[in-house]
Chain A
Amino acid sequence: AQTVTQSQPEMSVQEAETVTLSCTYDTSENNYYLFWYKQPPSRQMILVIRQEAYKQQNATENRFSVNFQKAAKSFSLKISDSQLGDTAMYFCAFYGNKLVFGAGTILRVKS
């Protein structure tokens, strides 16, 4: 069975600093997609970043980047220059033949 583990239930970071959220997954598949979704207090889920497993280059979207380690089955999210608007629940998700979500990490950005 495919599983996604987010080992950090809650994290805090000072505004303008960098924070890394961890995610590991378990699968026997070779081709898949990985995602980080953001759920702010408004509760609507928004896609932050996506990584195709066949691509070795780590995905980047502005202040958001990932560290994808396929052999280690690790997919961490780095947020640079944290902003107050980054405060949200962050979900890591895996898509092979179905989409599986981790339990989420609450990130609080402090001023």
Chain B
Amino acid sequence: DGGITQSPKYLFRKEGQNVTLSCEQNLNHDAMYWYRQDPGQGLRLIYYSQIVNDFQKGDIAEGYSVSREKKESFPLTVTSAQKNPTAFYLCASSPGTGKNTGELFFGEGSRLTVL
């Protein structure tokens, strides 16, 4: 079935460690996104990519990094520079520029907890 797969579902990290969250899609979508979800704040955009080998900062990119080496994959690294990384992270995709109506297709999310 077509969809978006995020892994791991749950992740624990010690302070000072970098961690990478995986996001893979087989929808043949051009655009991919990473959102952070905190209670009472809705979804906030971290990074997005509209095409392979290109990505843009969202509203809260500090302390995060991404890569887009393949169309299907858009991993997110939470670095030690992120001051408050404990959150729920959602990956999403959309068809892309020119075909985009704003509708996103979401993965099941990854819960990161810093110990």
Residues of A within 8 A of B (CB): 4, 9, 32-33, 35, 42-47, 50, 52, 91, 93, 95, 98-99, 101-104
Tell me how far the C-beta of A69 lies from the nearest C-beta in chain B, rounded to whole angstroms: 19
Contact of A93 among B90, B102, B108 (CB under 8 A): B102
Residues of B within 8 A of A (CB): 40-43, 45, 88, 90, 92, 101-104, 106-109
Decide if A103 touches B108 in the complex (CB within 8 Å).
no
Beyond the given A43-B108, A99-B102, please list 17 additional residue pairs across the A-B interface where CB-CB is below 8 A.
A4-B42, A33-B102, A33-B103, A35-B103, A44-B107, A44-B108, A44-B109, A45-B92, A45-B106, A50-B103, A52-B101, A95-B102, A99-B45, A101-B43, A103-B40, A103-B42, A104-B40
Q: List 9 A-B contacts (CB under 8 A).
A: A33-B102, A42-B108, A44-B109, A47-B103, A50-B101, A99-B45, A99-B104, A103-B42, A104-B42
Most buried by A among B40, B45, B92, B103: B103
Tell me how far the C-beta of B109 lies from the nearest C-beta in chain A, rounded to whole angstroms: 5
Contact of A91 among B42, B45, B101, B102 (CB under 8 A): B42
| Contact status of A43 and B102, CB under 8 A, knowing A9-B40, A102-B42, A103-B42 | no
How far apart are the CA atoms of A59 and B89 in the complex, in Å? Answer: 30
